[in-house]
Chains A and B, each alone.
Chain A
Amino acid sequence: MSAYLSFEKHIRELENKISELKTIGQGSQVDLEEDVRKLQKKLKRLLRDTYANLSPWQRVQVARHPMRPYTLDYIREMTTDFVELRGDRRFADDKAIIAGMARFEGMTVAIIGHQKGRTTKENIERNFGMPHPEGYRKALRIMKLAEKFGFPVLTFVDTPGAFPGIGAEERGQAEAIGHNLYEMSILKVPIVVSITGEGGSGGALGISIGDRLLMQENAVYAVISPEGCASILWRDTEKAPVAAEAMRLTAQHLFELGVIDEIVKEPLGGAHRDPKRAASILRRAIRRHLSELMKKDPDQLIEERHKKWRAMGVFGE
């Protein structure tokens, strides 16, 4: 584990100590196995305590962890025969969104997801997972393809937001997102949305209209980034932790507000500590929801999806 978060100081110390002891143990006659086991037990407890009591801002840090699994990691862990499909057939291919077909639990599915990079080079190519209009149009193209041939759609949501740039505005970022919301609401095949990291505003929503919304326990989802909210309402980006608290952006909050259907567990200490296991837990959740949805005919599916979205919001009358 390379990158520790600021609140993981004690975890880092303990993990360092364990690996130190292991190294010493290998080179000497002294048996340190018992000590290592003790420390590992302590580490587990520490991880459990820390991660059970994360503040919303700490969750934001976990959701943005550079080692957190991304769409391509989930594709690799959950599917076989993945074929990436590129381009919106209008202007370009946007590498901030991955799209394609694969085999999931024996079924052919369409997969769409934001993709961040891990290295600087990758991040430049992926634009830090911030799509341009072409990304949303490619996503829609693949969803329409899925509809035509009857495959369900799986989406993976992890973006700081749609990219705020000149080209993005010239080519209709707003229209591209709005158009996706509209089309996804009447797509005749099941859509299962998994929020796996940062659910950043309209940029996340643009591939998030579905029959089921699953959210990993350390993912976040809000109308604007905590920094953006802090800069507008507090006029101070330093207030991001306070804004994160105020926006109720955690999976638990979204579940209570009736926005998501299920909170998906992560391995102890976050998905980045065990990506394989994170993928396996998420895969099982997706499979369960998908098998329920596959039993419905398209009319029923769309009717229920409509009802689900129609009911969102809190007001008095």
Chain B
Amino acid sequence: MVRLWFKKRPFSKVKDSKQRVPRGLWVKCENCKEMVYKEEVERNLKVCPKCNYHFRISAKERIELLVDKGSFKERDASISPKDPLKFKDSKRYMDRLKEAQRKTGMKDAVICGTASIGGYPVELVVFEFGFLGGSMGSVVGEKVTRAVERACESGTPLIIVSSSGGARMQESILSLVQMGKTCAALARLSEAKVPYISVLTDPTTGGVSASFALLGDVVISEPKALIGFAGPRVIEQTIRQQLPQGFQRAEFLMEHGFVDMVVDRKVLRETLRRLLSLFENGRRAWAL
């Protein structure tokens, strides 16, 4: 099913993100620098067949990849960003927003909704890195919070697939406080004993990693995803030292005890299904 979808629409609408597989018969892998046959990469769910590098994929592709066909119902699609700070650097924030909206066809950096995975219902939040680096401002914070609240109310397990550079600078303090807002919602979800599975994809850093992303009951990561609080460049500049090989990658976080498992894209859906079935089964046994 997933394969079919990729054949029909082999490219996301996001054109100018550097991490995308470019057009042409052959593409160069970002990681191993090998030339690989494009169609083979597509067939392989945008994973390099030579080195297993996981290319970034769009939120829409991610949803297709994870959920039962036709099961996704988007929620809160009408929530849109404002510019309360009237922020302007070399461009106006409003112009950056419009450009990102045109590029992605989304109002802001997350898609939320309900779906099922292997027949198990879920509340799903998926980040779009192509929208201002998946950054979290007021809209992302509100949509994540609403998804958590829906999960809390209905008892449906929550899955958040993160891909974000962190809090959005153009909303400054209002972005920062979204970290508190989302975590406060998660605390209630936890008290309601509703499972939360966090899926980390490349990259998950800053205010997203330092709020809900590492607080899952189960934390899963895609291979080699960059995960951390401070960006590698900032750390290098601060300590004036080269960073060790594999630093802040998924495997490094698993080694240090912050990620439960590193899961290949092609078995991610099955892994989620299995976890959902275990949680569901456990809950039923408890109720008996």
Interface residues of A (CB under 8 A from B): 162-166, 168-175, 177-179, 181-183, 185-186, 201-202, 205-206, 208-209, 221-224, 228-229, 232-234, 243, 246-249, 253-254, 257, 259, 305-306, 309-310, 312-317
Contacts and interface: CB of A to CB of B under 8 A. Distances in A.
A126 to B, nearest CB: 16
Interface in B147-177: 167-169, 171-177
Contacts of A174: 205, 209-210, 213-214, 227-229, 258
Contact of A181 (B84, B85, B183, B190): B183
Interface of B: 78-82, 84-85, 87-90, 137-139, 141-142, 145, 167-169, 171-181, 183-188, 190-191, 205-207, 209-215, 227-231, 234-235, 238-239, 241, 243-244, 247-248, 252, 256-258
10 contacts: A166-B235, A169-B229, A175-B214, A185-B184, A206-B210, A208-B180, A233-B90, A247-B169, A309-B180, A312-B180
A233 B188 contact: no
Given A246-B85, A315-B82, A310 B213 contact: no
- Top 8 A-B residue pairs of the complex, sorted by shortest distance between their CB atoms: A164-B230, A313-B138, A185-B184, A181-B183, A174-B209, A174-B229, A173-B229, A233-B89
A139 to B, nearest CB: 14
Given A166-B239, A174-B229, A248 B173 contact: yes
A202 B174 contact: no
A181 B141 contact: no
Contacts of B174: 257, 259, 312-314
Nearest to B237: A164
A246 B93 CA distance: 11
B235 A165 contact: yes
Contacts of A208: 180
A183 B187 contact: yes
A165 B258 contact: no
A185 B190 CA distance: 12
A243 B88 CA distance: 9
A228 B206 CA distance: 13
Nearest to A206: B210
Contact of B84 (A185, A305, A314): A314
